[in-house]
Amino acid sequence: MNDTFLRACKGQETDYTPIWIMRQAGRYLPAYHTVRDKITFLELCKTPELAAEVSIQPVDIIGVDAAIMFSDILVPIEKMGAPLEFREKQGPVFPSPIRDQAAVDRLGIPDPEDDLGYVMETVRILRRELKDKVPLIGFSGAPFTLATYLIEGGSSRNFLNTKMMMYNAPELYKSLMDKITECTATYLKGQIAAGVQTVQIFDSWVGVLSPPDFAEFALPYVSRIIREIKEVSDIPVIYFANNGATLIDQSLTSGADVLGIDWRVNLSSVVKTVNGRAAIQGNMDPLALFLPPDKLEKRIAAVLREARGAKGHIFNLGHGIVPQTDPEKARLTVELVHKLSRRD
Ligand code: CP3
């Protein structure tokens, strides 16, 4: 198996810098549309054979060094008892937002096999089919990011309802976060038992918090999940705090083996701050994939240069690849990362 990705996560030497791409299984690939045209997004997440098929597409088509299971961060949340819809052009919607104690009390903790068996089955199929290729990444949302969807009822601009609850009803907020944290830790341990070889915790919206609010309202819950994972497994844990340049020092205390870094920060400063305490993942601007090939190559070389001195670097974009991307540019990026980073 190509274990370059796992070695880099652990800070071990590699022959070249491994790469995978956030949202690599998705709408920029025509092969994804071929599957998705026949079925809704949530049905796709709940059909293990098809979910496994689209997870493998980017491995075969663009040549990445890891596969990520196809699902969504909101899939386990639905099974806590909060009905979920994905609406065309609008994205995820929870028609009954969680804003009082009675609503929090009604939420349950799903059992990975009994309630989320389709995810566990996707993992098992993928491990079988990927055996001789690349490692498999499992994932979840981080509690803060998941809470924003439940409290706001969907995506948000300024997270008004979330911050109102944090500031004016902290006990309510914390009881919701405790439940989401328990659900997430249980879910990730289920994925690990089913066979994932790394997990990434996506904190997509945490960058809207000030450093003291991050310390009080988000980080303790991420740390608790990582502590629970480490009690049962030694697989690498990646924590991606999007827009989190001011949160890196604190994120290091979460216990994550790898910190995912968005594109708004120069990796050389991250390498200094992290100082060998974690591997780093990132961080090319996803829209750099719209540059002509010669300029794209310069951007890739710059990211590789800035990451020098890191104890482990996994190349990635600073956030998800956008649906309008030309798959050929994604393939070229993988080829160039491998070529430019090769150590001989
Ligand atoms: O390839 C992969 O990375 C695996 C699959 C994956 C999806 N979502 C598939 C998806 C992963 C890891 C996610 C994570 C996810 N989902 C995040 C964290 C990552 C990030 O981008 O910050 C978030 C915030 C979500 C919630 C979510 N799901 C939103 C806001 C949307 C709608 C907006 C959008 O990008 O379309 C989704 C839908 C979604 N999740 C799609 C895919 C492929 C598009 C659905 C479709 O096919 O119509």
Q: What CATH number does residue 74 fall under?
A: 3.20.20.210
In sign, the C-alpha dihedral spanning 158, 162, 167, 168 is positive
Ligand 1 centroid from CA 23, angstroms: 7
- Unique residue bearing structure tokens 């994804």: 32
Cβ 252 vs Cβ 237: under 8 Å: no
Three-state helix/strand/coil letters over 225-260: HHHHHHHHCCCCEEEEECCCHHHHHHHHHHCCCEEE
Q: Is 124 among the catalytic positions?
A: no
Number of domains in the chain: 1
Ligand 1 centroid from CA 47, angstroms: 16
Q: Is 16 among the catalytic positions?
A: no
pLDDT value at residue 344 = 77
Ligand 1 centroid from CA 73, angstroms: 7
Strand pairing of 198-203 and 237-241?
A: parallel
Q: Is the CB of 136 under 6 A from ligand 1?
A: no
Q: Whose CA is nearest to atom 42 of ligand 1?
A: 26
- What value does the mean pLDDT of the chain take? 97
pLDDT value at residue 88 = 87
Strand pairing of 85-87 and 91-93?
A: antiparallel
Residue 173, pLDDT > 80, answer yes
In sign, the C-alpha dihedral spanning 52, 53, 58, 60 is positive
Helix axis angle, 143-152 relative to 219-232, nearest 10°?
Answer: 130
Distance CA 250, CA 91 (A): 31
Q: Is the CB of 70 under 6 A from ligand 1?
A: yes
Distance CA 277, CA 272 (A): 10
Summarize the confidence of residues 279-291 as an average pLDDT. Answer: 98
Q: Is the CB of 35 under 6 A from ligand 1?
A: no
pLDDT value at residue 131 = 87
Structural domain including 190 reads: 4-341
Q: Is the CB of 156 under 6 A from ligand 1?
A: no
pLDDT value at residue 91 = 92
